[in-house]
Each structure stands twice: as C-alpha cells, then as structure tokens.
Amino acid sequence: MISIDILQNSTRDIHFNALFLLGLILFAGTAGGKILQKLKIPQVVGYIIAGVLLGRSGLNVINKDIIETLVPFNYFALGLIGFMIGGELKKEVFRRYGRHFIIILLAEGLAAFIIVFVLVGVFGSIFFGGGPFYWALGLLLGAIASATAPAATTDVLWEYKARGPLTTTVLGIVALDDGLALILFALAASIVPGMLGQHSSLFSAIFKPVYEIGVGIFIGVIFGLMLTKILRKYAEKDKILLFSLCSILFALGSALLMKIDMLLAAMTMAVVLVNREPRLSKEVFKVVSGFAAPFYILFFVLVGAQFDLHATSLIAVFIAIIYILGRTAGKMTGAHLGAKVSKAPASVIKYLPYCLFSQAGVAIGLSILAAQIFPGAMGSSIIVIVTLTTFVVQLLGPPCVKYAVIKAGEAGLDITEEDVLRKTTVGQIIDKNPPYVYENIQLKDVLITFSQSTYHTFPVVDQEKRLKGVITLESIRQSFSHTEMGSLVLAHDIMEPAITRKISPNSSLLEAEEVIDKYSVDYLPIVNENTVLLGFIEKGAIDKFVSSKLIEAEEKVASMER
C-alpha cells in the first residue's frame, strides 16, 4: 500500500511514488470506466467507483493527505470543464434559448432550495428535536442543493456525442447554476445566525455574491480578451494548446487568489473567445479537449476517494436521504415546470428533469465554506451530508443523463468526420460487385467498360478473379498513344500495380482512408488472403457517405429546434 509516510522518506521516493500514484489513479479510473462502458453504463461512474475502492472507504491508497496534495489537479480539471462548457454558450444560443435558460434555472434552483429547506426542517425537528438547528441546517442545505455539477453531466454528453435542444439547455443550465447557488447560499448564511440567536449581516448577504460573480466575470473577460489577441498571431496547434492552458491557469490562479468561483472565470473566458473568434475557437476547444481527458479521470477518481463511509452517522444518513429526495423532487418538478412555462421544445420538457441530479465541486466548496462560517455541529453536519449525497448522486446522475439524451434522440448527433470514419466499416459501403476488366481483354473493350460506368478506376483480374492491377483514367489517356496497334493492346499492358496493403471488410473507414492517403491514390481494392477481389471502394464514395451522415445529423438537429 502506498502511503504519505512512504512518500516522505526521501526526495527521490517522493517523485517516484507520486508518479506511481498518478499512474495508478489514471489506470484504475480508465479501467473502471471501460468496464462500465461495456455494461452500457457511463464511464464516469467507473471513475468514481475506482476512487471509492482506492480511497478512504476502500484500500486507503488515496488517503486524506494525498487528496489535499492533489487539490491543484482538481482545480485545473474544473477549470478545463468550465472552459469547455463556456465554449458552448454562443451568442446565437443565448438569442434562441436565453429566455428558456433563465426561467428553467430559477424554477429548478428555487424548487430544490425550498423543498430541501422545508423537508430537513420539518423531519429534523420531528425526529430529533432542536427545531431552530434543523431549520437553519435545512436553509443552508437548500441553498447548496440548488447547485448542479457540470463535470459528470457534461462528461456523459461528450461521451455520447449528444447535440440538440436538450443538450444545449443542459449545458446552459449547469453553466449558470453556480451564480444562483452562490446568491442563495450568501442569503442563507446571513439569515442562519438570526435563526440561531446570533448577529446577522444583510450587507454581507448582498455584497458577497455580487462580488464573487462580478469579479469572476471580470477575470474571465480579461483573460479571454488576452487569449483571443494572442491566438490571432499564433495559430499553430502547439501554440494554441500552450497559450490556452496558460490562460486557463492564469484565470484559475487569479480566481483562487481573489477567493471567488474558478468555474465562472473559466467559463466566461471561453464565452469571450467563442463569440469573438468563432472560427479560431473551434481549433482551440478541439486541442484542449484532446489534452483534458487524464485530468477528468483524475478529478472523478478523487471524488470517489473523498467519500468516507466511516465518518457517517445514522442521523447524517437520515438527513442525507431527505436531502436527496427533496433535491431530486425539486430539480425534476422545477425543470419540468420551467421548461413548460418557457415553452421549451418538447424533448426539453420531457427529459430535462433527468439531467440535473449531479452535484460536486460547487456543493462541496459551499459545504466547506459553511463549516468555516459555522464551526461545530452545524458545519461538520453539512460537510458529512454533502459529501455523502455527492457520492450517491454522482453515481445516479450520469445514467439518468444517458437515458435522457438517448430517449430525446440526441445521442450521436454531435459527430465529426473522424467519428463517422471510425464507426463505419469498409463492408458497409464497398461495392461488392464492382465493374472490373479481365487482364486479357482488348483496349477497345476496356474503353467500352469505362464509358458505361461512373467509376474512375477499374480493378483488373484474371480468370479466377484474382486482382492483378488497376486501370485509371490516366492509364486510358496514355493508352491513346497505342491506338494504331489496335487489338494488340490488352488491359494487362496498360494496367498499374494495385495497392498490396490488405484491408478487410471489417476494417474501419478510418483505416481505409489512411491507406488511401498513404499511397496517394483515390481507390482501394478489397481482397481476401488469395487476392481474390471481394469489392472496391473509391475515395469519392467515402467522402459522399461521410457528407451524407453529417448532413443527416445537421438536419435532425435542425428539425428538433423548430
């Protein structure tokens, strides 16, 4: 077992064991994700379960000290998540969905706040006595319940390539939820002291959320403008990644220094970038997304590792159950009513209630803040309850998001050319009965075959249909210099060598296109182990198929948004 004590033995041991531990976390998370993915469960659940097994409730390989040591990685992962979410918030999205966002946000956030507050206050007072304490606890937990974690939710949306009005609405809501949660928590924190017979400050309740949101937006705007200006001068991929990561780190560090919400700063920076440079930002988000995967895995493994089963009491479990039920009811009811009142698309009204269960970074952060403001029983109770409920909803939330986007028909619509090539096999689009010519036929017969087909390249075969070569338009053009020889010129005389690289019908189109690009040709013959021709494919056919799939996805998304 790796422990902090071992890590502290020597400088050399620290480096070796820290690297080994990071490798173990990434390996366990990836393995857990893949195992659950095979079971049709979102991979983020596998990351969290791997964390539980390695963490404080399992083997304790990732103990409390290690979790605290790796906090900067958590911050960075949250920043990357916020940055990617902000990239979805384009001007046209706000013009189309802005009204839906605001109404749904207020409905689901306030409903969760009120229901959790009432349920914890009522049941806590009835079963455990001490009315004011549980009403105050309910008020703080209600404010925390309004937050929705973007990390697990967006991970599922990206995993299943979701796109459409439901996906857009979910991304908008989870992006804006932070601000509402901060406001509600600040108001609750100002009221609670009065409920407990202590002094409270209305000024603090108003100033704190305004300060956090305002400064967070300001930091995001400043670094977003700086990044935009820099990337206009340096458009190489390596420079894009370098400057983007530097800007994210600067924004996160500034937010941490000012003690404000880092997620909001990162999201604002991306919003500025995507709206000022729509074309360039596509490349930015592509390279950042490719870099971010290990940090996402690390983040979710640490979420699971933080869960400590030994720290929970029966009272905490009871309140946690009430919290989960109340929060779930509030989120679902509020999301449904908000979507209906705002006249959102039918898929949003029907399936949005399943997409807002997850909670993580913001909720945990607010619970820690509550423990600092209200030390003692109140603060410790909030940390235990929020940690326990975070673990539960992080496991339940992703499968619900998956269910929603699949039922809404939005899974698989956010596809790229590479996605289509990777998921399609050669056998799905090859011509299994292509026009071909025998190697011993005359030139005039070759010309007749060409004139009767739209193909630009023809396979040449022997009597057993074994591939011998190909005839291209260039071969035909050059053959006209031999026309005076008439019937003496055969197909064998003008054919070119065929590609010898074997591609089976079960290979992906991505592999086929790589071979086509490698040999600088626009065709690919498909043969068996005896070189017998099984089929033929031209690059034009691949391009046409990919374009049709991309257009089909675009048309489906457009039909959903009408």
pLDDT tens column, 427-438: 888 888 888 888
Residue 330 is predicted with a pLDDT of 94
Same domain (yes/no): 97, 156: yes
In angstroms, what CA-CA distances link 85 with 138, 171, 453, 525? 30, 7, 49, 43
Average pLDDT over residues 106-130: 90
Same domain (yes/no): 405, 436: no
Residues 6+ apart with CB under 8 A from 509: 420, 421, 422, 424, 425, 426, 429, 542, 545, 546
Share of the chain above pLDDT 90, in %: 17
Rg (CA), the chain: 30
Residue 7 is predicted with a pLDDT of 41
Residue 433 maps to a domain: yes
Q: Is-contact 82 262, C-beta < 8 A?
A: yes
For position 122, which CATH number holds?
A: 1.20.1530.20
Ranges 18-22, 160-164, 264-268, 479-483: which has the least confidence = 479-483
Same domain (yes/no): 176, 198: yes
Average pLDDT over residues 226-243: 86
Token representation of residue 307: 């869960």
Q: Work out the number of other CB atoms within 10 angstroms of the CB of residue 200.
A: 14
- pTM of full prediction above 0.75: no
Same domain (yes/no): 89, 218: yes
Average pLDDT over residues 302-326: 84
Is a pLDDT exceeding 90 seen at residue 251? Answer: yes
SS (H, E, C) 223-275: HHHHHHHHHHHCCCHHHHHHHHHHHHHHHHHHHHHCCCCHHHHHHHHHHHHHH
Same domain (yes/no): 322, 287: yes
Of the candidates 399, 467, 394, 412, the residue with the CA atom closest to the CA atom of residue 434: 467
pLDDT digits over 353-372, tens only? 999 988 876 787 778 778 77
pLDDT digits over 171-209, tens only? 888 878 877 887 888 788 778 877 776 665 556 656 777
Average pLDDT over residues 391-403: 87
369 or 525: which leads in pLDDT: 525
Same domain (yes/no): 256, 237: yes
Q: Nearest 5 degrees, angle CA 209-CA 211-CA 214?
A: 100
The total number of structural domains that make up the chain:
2
Residue 37 maps to a domain: no
Is a pLDDT exceeding 90 seen at residue 336? Answer: yes
- Choose the final residue of a domain: 398, 414, 430: 414
Average pLDDT over residues 120-142: 87
Token representation of residue 232: 């206009």
Of the candidates 309, 311, 240, 227, the residue with the CA atom closest to the CA atom of residue 275: 227
Same domain (yes/no): 378, 509: no
User: Which uninterrupted H or E stretch holds 489?
Assistant: none
Is a pLDDT exceeding 70 seen at residue 485? Answer: no
Residue 150 is predicted with a pLDDT of 79
Q: Is-contact 533 436, C-beta < 8 A?
A: yes
Average pLDDT over residues 468-481: 73
Average pLDDT, the chain: 82
Rounded CA separation 513/422 (Å): 10
Residue 190 is predicted with a pLDDT of 77
Same domain (yes/no): 515, 482: yes
Provide the pLDDT confidence category of residue 5 given band limits of 50, 70 and 90: very low
Residue 15 maps to a domain: no
Domain that holds residue 84: 69-414
Residue 278 maps to a domain: yes
Ranges 243-247, 295-299, 470-474: which has the least confidence = 470-474
Average pLDDT over residues 87-97: 78
Is a pLDDT exceeding 60 seen at residue 484? Answer: no
Ranges 1-5, 17-21, 329-333, 472-476: which has the least confidence = 1-5
Residue 16 maps to a domain: no
For position 537, which CATH number holds?
A: 3.10.580.10
Residue 103 is predicted with a pLDDT of 92
Rounded CA separation 63/219 (Å): 34
Same domain (yes/no): 380, 489: no
User: Which uninterrupted H or E stretch holds 461?
Assistant: strand 457-461
Residue 355 maps to a domain: yes
- Choose the final residue of a domain: 379, 414, 449: 414
- Choose the final residue of a domain: 414, 442, 476: 414
Residue 7 maps to a domain: no
Is a pLDDT exceeding 80 seen at residue 265? Answer: yes
Same domain (yes/no): 410, 493: no
Same domain (yes/no): 376, 444: no
Provide the pLDDT confidence category of residue 457 given band limits of 50, 70 and 90: confident
Average pLDDT over residues 281-302: 86
Residue 21 maps to a domain: no
Provide the pLDDT confidence category of residue 339 given band limits of 50, 70 and 90: very high
Residue 116 is predicted with a pLDDT of 94
Is a pLDDT exceeding 70 seen at residue 4? Answer: no
Average pLDDT over residues 243-260: 90
Same domain (yes/no): 381, 435: no
